[in-house]
Structure 1
Amino acid sequence: MTDATTSLSPQDGALHRQAVNSPARVLFASLVGTTIEFFDFYVYATAAVIIFPHLFFPAADPTSAMLQSLATFSIAFFARPLGAVIFGHFGDRIGRKATLVAALMTMGISTVVIGLLPTYSTIGVVAPLLLALCRFGQGLGLGGAWGGAV
């Protein structure tokens, strides 16, 4: 009876070594994913100051609308540690690659949904609530990608 490790040919061993991700490749993939997510994060900051007060909040008081818009920006800062804990837990259980993809998808889907949200004039107070929920999703995704990348 032969052992499975002794029956491998040199070509099989080379294929096995190529399948394992090198630290440089993992670092590059994490860098790209985190860069994309931080870009989304800062684009939201710009939109929260310029566009969102006019779209998602009552126009009666511009200062109040600006402060409410900036409050939605801050929601992601509270969600980031939670995202790191959640995605870190699942990263230990099912693997970092799968959780990195899930974190990127969470951030991407939240960003796309923000772009598709109806405005305050269309659905009223539900618009800022949905915006806050999407922003929470962005924070979860960023925290998960950052925690997994580190």
Structure 2
Amino acid sequence: MHTKTALLALLGTLVFSIGLVRADDPVDGEITEDQDIIRTDDDDLTVTSSADAVVSFIFTEPADANTVKEIYGGKVVKYLIGFQNRGEKDFIVKHSETSFRYPMDFNYYLQNFTLGQYNRRVAPKEEVTLDYAFYAHESFAGRPLGLVVNLHYEDS
């Protein structure tokens, strides 16, 4: 009988305390509408590709990677990047970044590879071929992944 009374008293206290909980305290880092937001020039910067640059991509190892759309864990992967300048100004191909990404959210990196440094000047109406190789870790075998290759270049 005492336990039943104690249980009812505890439940009554919980019901009473729920009515007293309030969420009016300010949260650290919360922006309220009366604060001014200052825009900088960096907010307007966007990175785009050039209409004068044509980029192509082909796997050289494994040989069947272009047809089966798979690479194998625990093996070396090699590919070529073709860069064609169709414009009137020189381009400088700086480097490439290669990474495995989570297929549901390409902002999530699973494995990042070494930066491929090229620093190659491509004159107007010229084409260059760049190569890169990486080792796909065997722990990724059998898992669907996104392969991302970002090629960084600039016009001169």
Q: TM-score, normalised by structure 1?
A: 0.23
> Which structure exhibits the higher relative contact order, with contacts defined as CA atoms closer than 8 Å and separated by 6 or more residues?
1
The structure with the greater share of residues assigned to helix is 1
